[in-house]
Amino acid sequence: MKRTALAIVFASAALGLWAQQVTKVGICDFSRVLNTSYRESKTVREFYEAQQTIKKEQAAVEKEIADLENQRLEADKAANADLVLQLERRLSEKRRYLDDYKKIKGDWVRQQAERILSSSNFLRDILEVVKVVAESEGMALVVRSDAAGSELILFNIPEIDITEKVIKEIFRRAGKTYTGGGN
């Protein structure tokens, strides 16, 4: 009877300790890790430059369309039907060009991004660093806090954000010093 009572007491104590185990969760701004850690990479730098060129070209065409729309409104106010028709044709051509441009360049950007992410263990290396940092912090789970995972996070405290530690570790492994900081 004493043995049974002792077994129950020890089992209850062990169960109580087990029930109080806390799972530590972390967050990481994965987009920021990518941007900060690999912006010095020639391939990534060229990709971002190409993206900026595409955005500038798109903005220029959108401005041309807005200007043509204003001209069409003025021609309409002046009751110049021939000019209105001519401007509507030009607007239609510009809009079609812009739609094609967005589709073609958008596909190109997606292909280049996939190529960069799949090349030379790029993504696997980053995930390995996230894993090492999370384990060193005693975390059982890390959730993305950038756009891809932000809808999952309702509340967090800054202490669980491992983004800076991940970036520092990536720089350390590359033999560089990271002097950034903050968010």
- Which residue in this structure is represented by tokens 């790029």? 122
Print burial letters for 138-155: b (CB count within 10 Å at least 16), e (below 16): ebeebbbbbeebeeeeee
Cα angle at 159 between 156 and 164, to 5 degrees? 110
Q: What is the pLDDT of residue 6?
A: 45
Quote the pLDDT of residue 149. 58
For residues 33 and 14, the model is more confident at 33
CB 134 within 8 A of CB 23: no
User: What is the pLDDT, as a whole number, of residue 131?
Assistant: 92
Q: Does the model's pTM come out above 0.75?
A: no
Lowest-confidence pick of 35-44, 156-165, 172-181: 35-44
pLDDT of residue 146: 73
What is the pairing mode between strands 25-28 and 141-144?
parallel
Domain positions in the chain are 21-173
Answer yes or no: is pLDDT of 145 > 60: yes
